[in-house]
Structure 1
Amino acid sequence: MDGLQAMSFKDLPARLATLAHRLLPLRCLLCTEPGAGGLDLCPACRASLPELQAACRCCALPLPAPGICGACLQRPPPLQRAHAAFLYAPPLDRLLPRYKFHGDLAAGRLLAQLMARAFAGCERPQALVPVPLHRSRLRRRGYDQALELARPLAAMLGLPLRADLLRRVRATAAQSELDAAARRRNLRAAFRAANAAMPTHVALVDDVMTTGATLHAAARALHRAGVERVDAWVCARAP
């Protein structure tokens, strides 16, 4: 009983999902074949995932060779490094919407495992900061997809999780409905950093990076609060 009382009710679904994952046989979430390598993913589907190889160091845009793209050279972004585990392309574009919009926590757990493997060799920040949802959207969706990626990612990589450092203080239109310029306008004054002692180096965690407007707005808020270096760790980069 004491253990149940100590357990936060909001963590119960994730804990039950983790327990089920340990007890049940691995099963590929893409094709239902047996999973392998500790993942709910079969070897064939694992090999088909669109891993991001050469990319811009500042915005993760795919490049012929690693470096910095022309746009980031002309106008340096507020992110020092941007790392994406994958391109947003088939079959990953089936897994991410299932997690983000349909509450498939098993898909989220798999994506976090894949991100941990992809980012294990990255320079370590002092903390991971999930890009937060506004409370109105959180009520509608029922969970914060960036937080639920960042929580297991932090645990697997042994990094502090600091979801308290950043808040989304203004409800905004869905970014997917806007062009690049409108996305930037939509995010003005959307984030506010906490009035607290800040780490010098953090990594923002999010599911997808498209134009970078959301991550840039969040990074600027953290910079204004005293963070010296902000990186981005995302599951997928839209090409």
Structure 2
Amino acid sequence: MSTKLINRRFTAALDRLLPARCLLCHAPGDGMDLCMACLADMASNHHACQRCGLPLPPSLSLCSGCVRQPPPWSGAWVPFRYAWPLDLLEARFKFHGDLACGKVLAWMWCAAEPSLPLPDAIIPVPLHRSRLRTRGYNQALELARPLARHLRLPLLSCLRRSRRTTAQTELDAQARRGNLRDAFSVTGPVPPHVAILDDVMTTGATMEACTRALLAAGATTVDAWALARA
């Protein structure tokens, strides 16, 4: 009997013994840890600024900020809005070590349709080694791995956070940009078209700092990918 067949039978038996339960409401899950009702409550980001992913009315394609001062990246794919109940899953995943929530969020992202041409590779936003030791994992990388497999794209780790920075959640937009100035460096070759991936985009300061580092290292097109837009 093949190993794959054994694994499938074991998984099926485990599902019968321990059926999936929704991480939000504890109702039976539909083959995953999220029920269809809670999935339907996720706020999609269908109408958004093409450059920064900010939710917009259907009649607009660019927000006023990107019209006045376009960001250094070329386009954005942000399939969800950072709102209830996605924000509950994200907080548990990012700050409380709940990797099961991260698995559900990654599944949701894989089920979304890319709004941009696919890049040559995906590059997750890195954590500084001190924060990585504290948290134990990089939430952007945990989301990027299954998405890269799903889209059949290489996953690169050529971007480094070269210095420790203050947590962005504690700063306003202007301070966030100053906090991240020269915080990232590139340690390996970069293909022409890459997507920088993060869990949540708020002001875009992290994406901007990463994009400038990648463009300086030889990338010609950088797209900003995030699961949700605040």
- Report 1:135-150 matches (<5 A): 135-150=129-144
Unaligned runs of 5+ in 1: 1-18
* Letter of the 2:169 counterpart: S
- Further displaced range: 130-139 or 80-89: 80-89
- Structure 2 residue aligned with 1:104: 98
Q: Find the counterpart in structure 1 of residue 6 from structure 2.
A: none
Deviates more, 1:112-121 or 1:87-96: 112-121
Counterpart check, 1:93 vs 2:90: no
1:217 maps to a residue whose letter is: A
1:219 matches 2:204: no
Partners of 1:120 and 1:87 in 2: CA distance? 15
Instruction: Report the 3-state secondary structure (helix = DSSP H, G, I; strand = E; otherwise coil) of the residue aligned with 1:203.
Output: strand
Q: Which runs of 5+ in 2 are unaligned?
A: 1-9
Over 3 Å counting, the alpha-carbon distance change for 1:59 and 1:121 in structure 2 is closer
Percentage identity across aligned positions? 56
Secondary structure at the aligned position of 1:189 is classed as: coil
Aligned 1:55-134 pairs, distance under 5 A: 55-65=48-58, 66-120=60-114, 122-134=116-128
**TM-score, L = length of structure 2:** 0.90
The alignment's TM-score, normalised by the length of structure 1, stands at 0.86
**Aligned partner of 2:34: which letter?**
L
In the alignment, the residues of structure 1 paired with residue 12 and residue 69 of structure 2 have an alpha-carbon distance, to the nearest angstrom, of 45
The answer to whether the Cα contact below 8 Å between 2:21 and 2:29 also exists between their aligned partners in 1 is yes
Matched residue, 2:220 = 228
Which of 143, 161, 169 in structure 1 is aligned with 2:162?
Answer: 169
Deviation at 1:20, TM superposition (A): 7.2
Residue 171 to residue 143, structure 1, CA distance change in 2 (3 Å): same
Residues of 2 paired with 1:137 and 1:21: CA distance?
37
Return the alpha-carbon distance in structure 1 between the equivalents of residues 53 and 12 of structure 2: 32
- Which residue of structure 1 lines up, in the alignment, with residue 183 of structure 2? 190
Aligned residue in 2 for 1:156: 150
Q: What's the secondary structure of 1:129's corresponding residue?
A: strand
Contact 1:85 1:114 in 2 (8 A): no
| Counterpart Cα distance in 1 of 2:11 and 2:203 | 37
Which runs of at least 4 in structure 1 moved beyond 3 Å after TM superposition? 19-24, 119-122
Does the aligned pair in 1 maintain the 2:76–2:116 contact within 8 Å?
no
